[in-house]
Amino acid sequence: MNLKELNSKSAEEILDWSSKEYSGRIALASSFGLEDMVLIDIISKLPQPISIFTLDTGRLHEETYTLIDRVRSRYKLEIVTYFPDSSSVEKLLREKGFLSFRESLENRKECCRIRKVDPLNRALKELSAWVTGLRKDQNVTRNDIQAVEEDKDHPPLVKINPLKDWASGDIEKYILKNNVPTNPLHKQNYPSIGCAPCTRSVEPGEDPRSGRWWWENPEHKECGLHQK
């Protein structure tokens, strides 16, 4: 199968193909949002494993940690956890305080780099491919996603995006049908969950990602993990 043909395949077929094509060198980067929970459920049913890792920024909600433990016990899967470099965090806090990310875009990106991007780069060093929960309709920055695409920020890796064509209603239907565990914050109007101080609930009808870094313009709302 060529990569273009994969664009018309189901999420299960894309993941099944990827688990064989990149055997032992592929992982899901999970923040345990709704899309990631769908992917974990599908991955748990594949004949060939895809490993799962997460980035613990040190600023996550307690509900997220509780969900991670539920995933461990329900699916019997290992969750590999990457932390930020402790000396970089200590330096940031010593020089700029605990909430520097609210003061400027530059400071916010610095915090995301230390707590997310650098640990992600360490995780990706071991891999040839990584699975993401990106969907086209999540953000203006995400409308051209392919099932398998070069990761221009981390060559020669490829990104696997099995849910690229799913709408939020498709995600909800899958979760209900398969009784997939989810973060209770979603029921409190948190459609997208990141770090606790950078995430808030949204009003009905608002852009689902408007609760992330709500003080910034929409075109800046990427944390550096999925830049174009």
Nearer to ligand SF4, 129 or 223 (CB): 223
Tell me how many helices (H) and strands (E) the chain has: 8, 6
Provide the 8-state DSSP code for 81.
Answer: E
Q: Interface with ligand SF4 includes 92 (CB under 6 A)? A: no
Q: Interface with ligand SF4 includes 194 (CB under 6 A)? A: yes
Residue with tokens 């894309």: 14
- Dihedral, 139, 156, 6, 51 alpha carbons, nearest 10: -80
Q: Interface with ligand SF4 includes 57 (CB under 6 A)? A: yes
Q: Interface with ligand SF4 includes 61 (CB under 6 A)? A: no
| Residue 111 bears catalytic tag | no
Nearer to ligand SF4, 1 or 99 (CB): 99
Q: Interface with ligand SF4 includes 101 (CB under 6 A)? A: yes
- Phi, then psi, of 7 in degrees rounded to 5: -60, -25
Measure the CA–CA gap between 120 and 28, rounded to whole angstroms. Answer: 11
Q: Interface with ligand SF4 includes 55 (CB under 6 A)? A: no
Residue among 111, 112, 198, 223 flagged as catalytic: 223
CB atoms closer than 10 angstroms to residue 141: 16
In the complex, least distance from residue 46 CB atom to ligand SF4, rounded to whole angstroms? 31
Measure the CA–CA gap between 53 and 124, rounded to whole angstroms. Answer: 10
Of residues 24, 184, 197, 218, which one binds ligand SF4 by CB under 6 A? Answer: 197
- Which residues here bind ligand SF4, judged by CB under 6 A? 57, 59, 101, 108, 111-112, 115-116, 194-195, 197-198, 223
Q: Which residues are catalytic?
A: 223
